[in-house]
């Protein structure tokens, strides 16, 4: 048995013990590593570019990028400078910082479907605000949602039953992603009470292959919204500003009425946004949505710096190139080691499954081997590339994933 050259470190174990006393289950939410791995560290102390370091000083090549937010790399100098400069003036003031206007202008200039923008903290804030605006605009209640799609972790959209009442989701009607007929049936079920259709730019549900949007499906949803008067909401929280700066459906030529953004906006600073079309301005002004920190200047300054860097730089084409290099390398390695794998979704947001691995045990063992070899990746949530990943970094990652495939083979899996 050679698959575990390292086990969890002493500081990691000590932190887990302390956490178990003061945090239920030792951690919560998507970052509770015991839900997906026996080998991933729960605790991280630093990040730099495409590398992160755990509490025991072990460095990992990072394929999660903070689970999405880090699009330019950890501690990107330009974004860090914007953060430090803004901190010298102020952050949480009594009024909005002018940087909110600068950033809203740049978003509107960047996103063709955006005539305006507003800002919040979580992706869930953004999706919830979109639904609220759509209901206020239409005076209707029903919202079409793809079955299994993640739009946040609050009762109205929760995928878990615990703590959720039936009424929280009474007005949701489910359709199947990439199945336009199912959406049209759902719209028919809503009758004259249809407020909105919410959709992710691709199917990125966890524990299954990712699925790009069929262009006919995307155009069909747009036409369905136009025909029914429903508001088309694009949940670009996970994909936004990693695939296309104008919005993830721009390459398809399909423009939403509202878009929800978060994750990559500010390279890790806490920020969400809603953008939308002129026709919805009055509805926005009629709803009351707010938060104590929604106006704070530092995350907005980071968002502005991030978007300027993304617009001026090579970040998006770079991620496309390095993501392709990673995908091709993994495919070759799997074949060489005699494993059949599936890699799906955009190369900048990869995920890898093993054929026939219904219980994900093989994928989990491989991900655990990878993390022991120094590559931080996930067995069943998509990964994220950043602009900090160079070709050399991808090659270093591939060296280690090759070892991980070998480790897997050595265990006889």
In the complex with a copy of itself, which residue's Cβ is closer, 217 or 376? 376
Among 136, 190, 252, 305, which residue sits at the site for a copy of itself (rule: CB under 8 A)? 136
Rounded alpha-carbon distances, angstroms, from residue 70 to 79, 204, 258: 11, 18, 24
Query: Six-digit token pair at 217?
Result: 């499906």
SS3 258: strand
Residues 373-402 that bind a copy of itself (CB under 8 A): 376
SS3 375: strand
Residues 15-44 that bind a copy of itself (CB under 8 A): 15, 18-19, 21-25, 27-31, 33, 40-44
At residue 96, what are phi and psi to the nearest 5 degrees? -80, 145
**HSE value, Cβ hemisphere, 13 Å, CA-based, for 226:** 9
In the complex with a copy of itself, which residue's Cβ is closer, 91 or 179? 91
In the complex with a copy of itself, which residue's Cβ is closer, 117 or 252? 117
Residues 216-235 that bind a copy of itself (CB under 8 A): none
In contact, 411 and 95? CB cutoff 8 Å? no
**Closest approach of a copy of itself to the CB of residue 3, in Å:** 21
Among 39, 134, 202, 307, which residue sits at the site for a copy of itself (rule: CB under 8 A)? 134
In the complex with a copy of itself, which residue's Cβ is closer, 8 or 202? 8
**Closest approach of a copy of itself to the CB of residue 13, in Å:** 12
In the complex with a copy of itself, which residue's Cβ is closer, 153 or 396? 153
**Closest approach of a copy of itself to the CB of residue 167, in Å:** 4
Rounded alpha-carbon distances, angstroms, from residue 244 to 13, 114, 149, 317, 320: 41, 14, 21, 10, 11
Among 174, 185, 219, 281, which residue sits at the site for a copy of itself (rule: CB under 8 A)? 281
Among 3, 113, 122, 248, which residue sits at the site for a copy of itself (rule: CB under 8 A)? 122
Among 10, 290, 324, 411, which residue sits at the site for a copy of itself (rule: CB under 8 A)? 290
In contact, 213 and 172? CB cutoff 8 Å? no
**Closest approach of a copy of itself to the CB of residue 265, in Å:** 10
In contact, 204 and 175? CB cutoff 8 Å? no
In contact, 127 and 152? CB cutoff 8 Å? yes
In the complex with a copy of itself, which residue's Cβ is closer, 218 or 367? 367
Q: Count of residues binding a copy of itself (CB under 8 A)?
A: 115
* Residue 207 engages a copy of itself in binding (rule: CB under 8 A): no
**Closest approach of a copy of itself to the CB of residue 213, in Å:** 22
**HSE value, Cβ hemisphere, 13 Å, CA-based, for 378:** 26
Among 8, 72, 118, 145, which residue sits at the site for a copy of itself (rule: CB under 8 A)? 118
Reference 182, options 232, 140, 224; nearest CA is 224
Stretch that binds a copy of itself, among 263-271, 315-323, 395-403, 405-413 (CB under 8 A): 263-271
Give me the helix-helix angle, 391-410 and 361-372, nearest 10°. 120
Residues 298-317 that bind a copy of itself (CB under 8 A): 299
In contact, 327 and 350? CB cutoff 8 Å? yes
Residues 153-192 that bind a copy of itself (CB under 8 A): 153-156, 158-160, 162-165, 167-168, 170-171
DSSP code for 182: H
SS3 39: coil
* Residue 92 engages a copy of itself in binding (rule: CB under 8 A): yes
Q: DSSP labels for 264-305?
A: GGGTTSS-EEEEE-GGGHHHHHHS----TTTT-HHHHHHHHH
Among 58, 76, 135, 372, which residue sits at the site for a copy of itself (rule: CB under 8 A)? 135
* Residue 104 engages a copy of itself in binding (rule: CB under 8 A): yes
**HSE value, Cβ hemisphere, 13 Å, CA-based, for 303:** 33
Residues 54-73 that bind a copy of itself (CB under 8 A): 54-55, 60, 62, 64-70
DSSP code for 214: P
H or E element at residue 227: helix 215-228
Among 4, 9, 13, 80, which residue sits at the site for a copy of itself (rule: CB under 8 A)? 80
Residues 330-359 that bind a copy of itself (CB under 8 A): none
In the complex with a copy of itself, which residue's Cβ is closer, 127 or 333? 127
């Amino acid at each position: 048995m050679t698959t575990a050259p390292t086990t969890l470190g002493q500081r990691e174990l000590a932190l887990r013990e302390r956490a178990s006393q003061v945090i239920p289950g030792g951690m919560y939410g998507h970052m509770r590593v015991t839900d997906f791995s026996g080998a991933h560290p729960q605790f991280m102390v630093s990040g730099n570019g495409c590398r992160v370091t755990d509490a025991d000083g072990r460095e990992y090549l990072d394929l999660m990028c903070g689970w999405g937010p880090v699009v330019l790399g950890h501690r990107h100098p330009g974004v860090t400078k914007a953060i430090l400069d803004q901190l010298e003036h102020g952050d949480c003031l009594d009024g909005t910082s002018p940087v909110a206007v600068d950033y809203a202008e740049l978003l509107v200039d960047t996103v063709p479907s955006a005539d305006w923008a507003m800002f919040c903290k979580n992706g869930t804030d953004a999706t919830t605000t979109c639904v609220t605006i759509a209901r206020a605009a239409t005076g209707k209640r029903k919202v079409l949602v793809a079955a299994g799609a993640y739009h946040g972790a609050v009762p109205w959209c929760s995928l878990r039953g615990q703590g959720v009442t039936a009424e929280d989701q009474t007005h949701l009607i489910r359709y199947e992603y990439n199945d336009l007929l199912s959406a049209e049936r759902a719209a028919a079920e809503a009758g004259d009470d249809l407020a909105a259709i919410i959709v992710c730019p691709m199917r990125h549900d966890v524990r299954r292959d990712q699925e790009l949007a069929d262009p006919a499906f995307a155009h069909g949803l747009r036409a369905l919204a136009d025909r029914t008067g429903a508001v088309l909401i694009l949940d670009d929280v996970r994909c936004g500003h990693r695939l296309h700066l104008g919005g993830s459906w721009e390459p398809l030529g399909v423009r939403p009425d509202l878009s929800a953004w978060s994750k990559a906006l500010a390279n890790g600073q806490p920020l969400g946004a809603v953008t939308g079309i002129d026709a919805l301005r009055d509805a926005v002004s009629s709803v009351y949505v707010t938060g104590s920190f929604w106006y704070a200047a530092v995350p907005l300054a980071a968002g502005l710096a991030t978007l300027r860097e993304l617009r001026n730089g090579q970040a998006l084409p770079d991620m496309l190139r390095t993501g392709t290099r990673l995908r091709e390398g993994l495919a070759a390695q799997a074949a060489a080691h005699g494993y059949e794998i599936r890699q799906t979704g955009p190369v900048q947001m990869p995920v890898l499954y093993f054929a026939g691995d219904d219980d994900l045990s093989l994928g989990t063992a491989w991900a655990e081997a990878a993390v022991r070899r120094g590559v931080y990746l996930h067995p069943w949530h998509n990964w994220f590339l950043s602009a900090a990943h160079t070709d050399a970094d991808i090659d270093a990652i591939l060296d280690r994933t090759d070892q991980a495939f070998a480790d897997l083979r050595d265990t006889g899996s």
